[in-house]
Every structure is written in structure tokens, then in C-alpha cells.
Amino acid sequence: MIVITGGAGFIGSAMIWQLNLLGRDDLIIVDTLGQTAKGKWKNLSGLRFADFIPREQFLPLLESAAIPDISAIIHMGAISATTETDADLLIERNYAFSKRIATCCMRQNIRLIYASSAATYGDGTSGYDDNEATVDLLRPLNMYGYSKQMFDRWALQNGLLEKAAGLKFFNVYGPNEYHKGDMQSVVSKAYNQISETGSVSLFKSHRPDFGDGEQLRDFVYVRDCTAIMAWLLDNPAVTGLFNIGSGEARSFNDLVNATFAAIGREPRIAYIPMPDHLQGRYQYYTCANMQKLRQAGYPNPMTSLEDGVTDYVRNYLSSNEPYYDLHRHKTA
């Protein structure tokens, strides 16, 4: 049995789809579904799993070993909003909750794969190398990133990463992110803006070394993320912290131009001032060093930005049924 926390969320539900395609439906989903207009429940409706456990019920069951035959926990459940300002809530959900899951995994010999974040790298001054020895050198720009760094530190100090894999996700985009509101990827936001107005707004640069829209990110398609996690399930001897990105830095202009191309329209981009609350906490450059994962043996190529955006736009965002569904989307 595989447990997926945050299983109704973006990456979690994509992982269910990935495992379903591999013939696995012995999955327990842990999440809260809430009351959002584009409810997370829709992410689950076309997928197969054995059971659903509300988040508040999960830890007591796990800690009492009441869930039999767990071989692995994929821990994606967290507050993922980089703009969240409630530090106590972030500590509770992203740090304390994760510690309790990790402690049970160590005691019960359960394989753990958990979500860290590229937000731990801060402004990139210390680089983007997923080297455990450099974790203490990192200075995140927001409390979300710090909550993830706190858990990475705890994992190192308590020997968790000798058995588990922590994944530093970069800028993930793809189907099933529609419930995330303002935290949706720029691809999804750009598609919606083009549909509504015919143009896309991007932030102006407030640094002389970057042009408007030329801020750089490592954009990674969610299918690459789930393929990596599936490989990690099959290779439990692979442990430690790993970057999960494309390994290539591309501009927001590139991303938006790819979105226009996928729709078949000429680009129209307007550059707007960056909000005050983001200035000083904004990453102008991210790029995952993927060498460590490759050295561990991961063999698959990463999807190019243009190919990923085209697939997402044409087969999901432009579809009346944009969610992962085994009956409509058969290929990974």
C-alpha cells in the first residue's frame, strides 16, 4: 500500500495518475478537500485508489500502526503558498506534521519520499546544488521556503535522509493545478489571460541586469516530476536530497511565447510593476543542478519547455475535461 499525502492536490493527484498508468491502485489518499470554487475533488474523479483519509485523522492512524502494509509514503501535503504570512501555521503544517510522518516511517521501515522546495535556495547566492552539506548555508526569501528548509535540516540531523528522498521542486506546471488560485503556474495564468483579453501581463524587472520578462526560472512539467518519483519508488536505495527541475533556466517571456504558440496566436505581452510585497523576496534566477539525480541513475530525458507547454495547453487547458483521467489520457 502506498500513501499519498496531499493526494488531491496538484502534484499528488498527478502522481496517482502516474501510478494508475503503471497498474497500481493500492493507494491511500490523505488530504482536505475544502470548499474552493474549483474543488480539489475534481482532481481525483477520474483516478483509482483504495481509500481516502481526511488529514486530521491520518496521524493517529499512522502512529498507532492502524494502517496495514504501508510500503511507502509520498508526502506532498503542505501549505505551498509562497505568499503565506502565518508563520505558526507554516511551522505546524510544513514542519511539525512532516516530522511526525518521518518519525513513523523510520520506526516502521516505510519508504518516504517528501516534497522540499527550490524556495529553500533563496536568491541563489549559495547556488542551486542539492548537496546536503550546504543546507545550512541557504537563506530562503520567505517563510514558506524557511519552513521547508527547517524540515530538511531536521531530516539531516536525525538520519532520515539515509533512507528517504527529499525533493526540491522547482517551478512545476501542468494539469490539476486549477484549484491553486494565485499560486497556479504562469502557463495556466497566461492561458486564462489570453482567453479573456488576448494579452498577458508580466512583471517588470527591478534589476538592471534583467530585462522586463527576462527573469529566469527552471520550469518543469509535472509529468517529469511524477516519473522521477515513480523511479524513486522502484529504487529505494536512492536516498538524500534531490533537485527536481528541467536543468535549464528559461525566461518568463519564453514561457508566455510558448503559450501563445500553442494556442496559435501572436504574442501580446504587457509589463506591469512588481507589487511592493514581492520586491526583495523575488527570485530573479533559478536553475536546478540535476547532476546528483543523474549520477544516482535516473535515465529519462526531461520534457522541453515548448513540448510541455504545448501538451498542457492543447490537451488539457483547451479541453472541456482538463483533468487527468485514465479514460481520456492514456499516455505518460
Q: Please list the active-site residues.
A: 144, 180
C-alpha torsion sign, points 136, 138, 140, 141: positive
Residue found under cell 526540491: 168
CB atoms within 10 A of CB 155: 24
State residue 179 phi and psi, 5-degree precision. -80, -5
CA dist 45 and 225 (Å) reads 21
CA dist 93 and 84 (Å) reads 12
CA dist 160 and 112 (Å) reads 9
The C-alpha cell at 241 is: 536530497
Let me know: does 28 contact 50? Beta carbons within 8 Å: yes
- Beta-sheet pairing, 165-169 with 240-244: parallel
Let me know: does 154 contact 146? Beta carbons within 8 Å: no
Let me know: does 138 contact 149? Beta carbons within 8 Å: yes
In one-letter notation, the amino acid at residue 114 is Y
State residue 128 phi and psi, 5-degree precision. -125, 40
In one-letter notation, the amino acid at residue 79 is I
Query: Residue 308: which of 246, 232, 243 has the closest Cα?
Result: 246
